[in-house]
Amino acid sequence: MATDGMGQDYPAIAAVIPTTGRASLTHAVQSALDQTVRLSQVVVAVDGPVEQVTRLPDDPRIEVVSARPFGTGGNAARSAGLARVRSGLVALLDDDDVWHPDKIERQLECYREARQHHQRPVVVGCRVREVRPDGQQGAVMPRRLLRSESSVAGYLFDRRSVFRAAGTLSSSMLLFDREIVDAVPFDAELSRHQDWDWLLRVDHLGLATFTMAPEVLVDYAVSLPGASTSSAAGWKASEAWVAHAQEWLTPRQQAEVLLAVTTPIAMKHGEWRAAARLVRKAVRLSPAPASVAFALAHVPVLLWRRARKARAQRRVSTVSAPSS
């Protein structure tokens, strides 16, 4: 146990930061060290050899561990880091995100309140602010908070608007009791939807109470439009996960993932036949009309982006062509 600035005791808290060693890691680690509530450990879990990580702050609380085999993804690194945690509470942080200094302090307040009313372990989320690659601030998410009486599946996937997702929960938002991971480990085999998968399984088994701090406590890095999907095969992994998650999702919620996530990935990579098949598959699951509208709204946007990219490439080719 430790004592905060208000004289209140709190359990030891560790941060786990999975990484491939990218440059943004230094800022993520520093944001964990700079918390107004002192962390007991900051575990940097590398998906690769520890030599990939350089220029970390000089602090005895930092521990660098390696996930093996290398290249197996974020959940493998996360699990390797969690195995080294000795605290009662743990918070996750992606290596391109940054915590606000009072992130853990505010979540501890929510944690204490939830513990007063519930006997189960607790998972605490928060709001985040999107930060674009050029440093410009974007939207605050989520607009709607998850309440303890709501299901995680309903919160995440019961869409109410064409233009807004139902809810948001991702790893950098989370603080939770370490014991939950002993009962429900992260699935190291998954390549997509890793956070959703773990949260849904925990909730389905009734192992935790979920709550959220209302403040914006994380700067969440977003990619340029169309750049967030690393592989054209991403839609296949997403579709496979929907089939894997049938036990935890209603047909309408499965359709929401297919339409709001899986189909746009296929479209971004020009897999239009696959996208059409995914839409047909989702429609058979009786989706919310807003989900169908959201998926179809991607078509003109993506076609315009593809045309603009093609024009830019033609201009480059014309300029670089040798004159006769």
Tally Cβ neighbours within 10 Å of residue 59: 12
pTM: 0.88
pLDDT of residue 150: 85
Sign, CA torsion 141/106/74/54: positive
Sign, CA torsion 298/299/300/304: positive
**Domains of the chain, earliest start first:** 2-221 (3.90.550.10), 234-320 (no CATH)
Helix ranges, the chain (H): 25-33, 74-82, 103-117, 152-157, 179-183, 194-204, 234-244, 251-257, 263-268, 272-283, 289-320
What span, in angstroms and rounded, lies between the C-alpha atoms of 230 and 121? 35
pLDDT of residue 301: 63
Going residue by residue through the chain, which has 324 residues, state the pLDDT in tens, using 9 for 90 and above. 555 555 567 789 999 999 999 999 999 999 999 999 999 999 999 998 899 898 899 999 999 999 877 767 788 899 999 999 999 999 999 999 999 999 999 999 999 999 999 889 999 999 999 999 888 999 999 999 998 778 999 999 999 888 778 899 999 999 999 999 999 999 988 889 999 999 999 999 999 999 999 999 999 998 754 444 445 669 999 999 999 999 999 999 999 999 999 999 998 888 989 999 999 999 999 999 999 998 888 777 666 656 666 666 666 666 555 554
What span, in angstroms and rounded, lies between the C-alpha atoms of 254 and 78? 26
